[in-house]
Structure 1
């Protein structure tokens, strides 16, 4: 009886978040399942409001879960399979040797430049991500990268990496 009475209202609430009819229908069903589980905690004040809140939170949780799933699928640090067409063992060895030289050169930098350079160029992180990781301001990241580039021009030669 409760489901028949409130199904349209719950559907409207879930649809306002999901923006997809099929998903809103699924969320409506999930809301009523959660309602049955939560009935013992209902305190007899504004049933429609209480049910709306369950529907809204169910829809928001679903949205967050879907968003997190998309982020997880797109946030690999390195590709799982690296297949390079026409790459010989010699070319691969030279490439790995060059990468190792670059890593060693970065290790030889002053500490405050090293962390920022490694995260920006090797891990390909944004200024904001670096600032968050190092617990510093974005402007500080920008300034350290600027100074690190200046330091690299003064201390490194291109021949060091070939």
Structure 2
């Protein structure tokens, strides 16, 4: 398959697609989403194939599937939280010019605050919290490892707790 043999790829997909679907479905609990993530897993597998070290293929690809499912679930959860919060606020103050002005001020304040972060954290914080990207997407965009993204977000949160006052937001 590393040499571009399409038949080998088809064999792998046929052999592992039901196993991966089960792994993913166990996390996301949605058939359509599990099917989509299963396909994404095979795409990710192709990208990561050069790093595969010929040990435990089923475990390796299952780990990719599980991580993709976790990322999808987290992203969906973040979107639900944001939408639910926004809908609640909107129903309370729909059409209020004052509300719109306050929202714009809050966005400006948050953007200025993010600029206060050390430069190494700014990009990942914006990508994760503002744009809702997964660790994998951020890692790919910034050409860094996922663990680096995770560590930068952890350190950024720590920095924020230490340097920002709670009442600023």
The structure whose Rg is larger is 1
TM-score of the two chains, using structure 2 as the length reference: 0.47
Higher helix share: 2
TM-score of the two chains, using structure 1 as the length reference: 0.49
